[in-house]
Chain A
Amino acid sequence: MESVTSPAITELRKTPLNALHRRLGAKMVNFDGWDMPVEYPSSGGLIAEHKAVRNSVGVFDVSHMGDIRIRAGHKPGGAVAAVQHLSMNDASLLAIGQAHYSAMLYPGGTFVDDVIVHRLGEEDYLLVINAGTREKDIRWVRENTKNFDCVVEDLSDAYTQLAIQGPRAVDVAQKLTDANLRAVKNYWFTHGAVCGLKNILVARTGYTGEDGFEIYVPSDRLTSEEVWTKVMEAGREFAIVPCGLGARNTLRLEAKMALYGHEISDKINVWEAGLGRYCKMEKGDFVGRTALERAQAAGLTRTLAGLEMIDRGIARDDYRVYSEAGEAVGVITSGSPSPTLGKNIALAYVPPALAAVGTTLYVEIRTQKCRAQVVPTPFYKRPKKAAEPQTAKTV
């Protein structure tokens, strides 16, 4: 057997909770240059963590994510203009207290990164970006906002970011704050006292396909560990568990949420990735728009399809995909067993003609071509929120 953990490299970056993860006995991996927990045997491991999030609640340290704040310069209008130029969604539609999914694009219409844009104030935006693309993103934002009257701040190291995720996340998070979290809608946020800390950003966002909150607390180690401990205490009655990047990946894959370097990259455009609903072509010019217009007119040559394995075998990242005729037609971008569905699922770029639900495709797994089928996505959709409990009626 080959060892699955890479040897420790001393230059790996660490979140303020690194020591705590190690005390908990987490298995650590190098994720994009960060020393991060992949799973916690003390939580029962990846599958148990995944199920905790689907059925109750789990907590993730996602402090490796980066944060860029863009504020107005001397005159009003500069911040919104800069964000509109950088990001494909329409930031002018955001109310203060609202967030949305978006992406920063290269002039070719491919991805610099995907981002969550939060509108903190009239002229004040917070972009949450990926860990592996932090430096590149910050350079990109600085370069491409030079001609705008705005102030760009890299706040990536200022926050410890915790994601409390799952159907009971609201119950856990509500115990920690005076803000009324039940009134915060999906992809909205609020500020409130959290664990005695003032003015903490609490957003109803996440990367699991489940309800949940992400909280941004000061990044000193003591505060970070204290908040983590309080989250665990608040969640005890709901059997909360610490969750690692392993479960984060299977959860987001089931929900068909893109991962940079997999479903989206500098080689893949917005239409191919199926993210057109977050791209507002009518809002005016932005970086990548011209190329996207051209790509739209030219039509798709590949599209992201969801696969379910029919034969025994697990499709993994970078495995080749073949048509029934035996022609190599695409590549798996993400593939894994799905703990929720009990099936082996994958995402792959294939020609549109082979992306129809029900199409048979073959995935090359080591030396064998294993049968798979195109299925509807997302693979998993969370059940609609149950109606507020009504006055009990006897039947």
Chain B
Amino acid sequence: MAYPKEYRYTKEHEWIDLKGNVATVGITDYAQHELGDVVFVELPKVGYKTITGKSFGTVESVKAVSEIYSPVAGEVMEANTALQNTPEKINTDPHGGAWLVKIRIANPAEITGLMDAAAYEAYIADKGKEASA
């Protein structure tokens, strides 16, 4: 699956699509693949204050729980609550319809430190090598 060029990516495998001061956040295709069948999602309520690097929710597969770390500080404007009934969408459409939250961010400059698509693809290619060593 292609990694959209306009997104930014974290080492913890979240993506961020920043439009103005609103960041849409999800988990990457690599992340959903590592997790396996996603069966459960726990998302923050509207108004929740996210802190950079701190967990704001969880995505769970049959065998594992994964915390979702906020790549930015801000306030949750919207959570994709439809995922609670269709968590498997995270496996099939991680970069699109299965976004997790939209965050109004305090400081848009925060995302400049994150990876672009090319850097992220190189990052996960490296991880792949590590795993098969």
In the complex, which residue of chain A has the Cβ closest to the Cβ of B66? Answer: A1
Is residue A130 contacting chain B, with contact meaning CB distance below 8 A?
Answer: no
Q: Which of B16-24, B55-63, B109-117 contacts A (4 or more CB under 8 A)?
A: B55-63
Which size class do A's interface residues fall under?
A: 20 to 34
Is residue B93 contacting chain A, with contact meaning CB distance below 8 A?
Answer: no
> Contacts A3-B34, A8-B131: A46 and B62 contacting too (C-beta < 8 A)?
yes
Q: Which of B34-79 contact A (CB under 8 A)?
A: 34-37, 39-40, 42, 58-69
Is residue A316 contacting chain B, with contact meaning CB distance below 8 A?
Answer: yes
A336–B60 Cα distance when bound, in Å, is 10
Give chain B nearest CB distance to A357 CB in angstroms: 25
Which size class do B's interface residues fall under?
A: 20 to 34
> Are B36 and A46 closer than 8 Å at their CB atoms?
yes
> Are A1 and B130 closer than 8 Å at their CB atoms?
no
> Are B13 and A1 closer than 8 Å at their CB atoms?
yes
Is residue A41 contacting chain B, with contact meaning CB distance below 8 A?
Answer: yes
> Contacts A314-B60, A336-B63: A2 and B12 contacting too (C-beta < 8 A)?
yes
In the complex, which residue of chain A has the Cβ closest to the Cβ of B88? Answer: A47
> Are A1 and B65 closer than 8 Å at their CB atoms?
no
> Are B59 and A337 closer than 8 Å at their CB atoms?
no
Interface centre among A2, A38, A246 (most CB of B within 10 A): A2
> Are A39 and B67 closer than 8 Å at their CB atoms?
no
Please, which residues of chain B bring their CB within 8 A of the CB of A337?
Answer: 39-40, 62
Is residue A390 contacting chain B, with contact meaning CB distance below 8 A?
Answer: no
A150–B34 Cα distance when bound, in Å, is 48
Please, which residues of chain B bring their CB within 8 A of the CB of A246?
Answer: 36, 62-63
A5–B14 Cα distance when bound, in Å, is 17
Is residue B133 contacting chain A, with contact meaning CB distance below 8 A?
Answer: yes
Contact residue among B37, B39, B127 (Cβ-Cβ distance under 8 Å from A314)? B39
A250–B39 Cα distance when bound, in Å, is 14
> Are A4 and B132 closer than 8 Å at their CB atoms?
no
Give chain A nearest CB distance to B49 CB in angstroms: 16
In the complex, which residue of chain B has the Cβ closest to the Cβ of A50? Answer: B62
In the complex, which residue of chain A has the Cβ closest to the Cβ of B40? Answer: A314
Please, which residues of chain B bring their CB within 8 A of the CB of A39?
Answer: 36, 63
In the complex, which residue of chain A has the Cβ closest to the Cβ of B60? Answer: A314
Is residue A249 contacting chain B, with contact meaning CB distance below 8 A?
Answer: yes
A395–B27 Cα distance when bound, in Å, is 57
Give chain A nearest CB distance to B123 CB in angstroms: 12
Q: Which of A365-381 contact B (CB under 8 A)?
A: 366
Is residue A27 contacting chain B, with contact meaning CB distance below 8 A?
Answer: yes
A171–B18 Cα distance when bound, in Å, is 56
A27–B61 Cα distance when bound, in Å, is 14
> Contacts A1-B14, A2-B66: A8 and B130 contacting too (C-beta < 8 A)?
yes
> Contacts A27-B36, A246-B36: A4 and B62 contacting too (C-beta < 8 A)?
no
> Are A249 and B131 closer than 8 Å at their CB atoms?
no
> Are B62 and A1 closer than 8 Å at their CB atoms?
no
Give chain A nearest CB distance to B31 CB in angstroms: 5
> Contacts A3-B34, A7-B131, A8-B130: A336 and B64 contacting too (C-beta < 8 A)?
no
> Are B66 and A4 closer than 8 Å at their CB atoms?
yes
> Contacts A2-B12, A7-B131: A45 and B66 contacting too (C-beta < 8 A)?
no
Interface string of A29-49 (1 = CB under 8 A from B): 000000000110100011100
Q: Which of B85-105 contact A (CB under 8 A)?
A: none
Please, which residues of chain A bring their CB within 8 A of the CB of B59?
Answer: 1
Interface centre among A1, A2, A38, A250 (most CB of B within 10 A): A1
What are some 24 contacts across the A-B interface (CB < 8 A)? A1-B14, A1-B31, A1-B59, A4-B63, A5-B131, A8-B130, A10-B133, A27-B34, A27-B36, A45-B36, A45-B37, A46-B61, A46-B62, A249-B63, A312-B40, A312-B84, A313-B42, A314-B39, A314-B65, A336-B63, A337-B39, A337-B40, A337-B62, A339-B62
Interface residues, chain A, with chain B CB atoms under 8 Å away:
1-5, 7-8, 10, 22, 27-28, 38-39, 41, 45-47, 246, 249-250, 312-314, 316, 336-337, 339, 366
Task: List 11 additional A-B contacts (Cβ < 8 Å) besides A46-B63, A246-B63, A314-B39.
Answer: A1-B59, A2-B66, A3-B13, A4-B34, A5-B34, A27-B36, A39-B36, A47-B62, A313-B40, A313-B42, A314-B60
Interface residues, chain B, with chain A CB atoms under 8 Å away:
12-14, 27, 31, 33-37, 39-40, 42, 58-69, 84, 127, 130-133
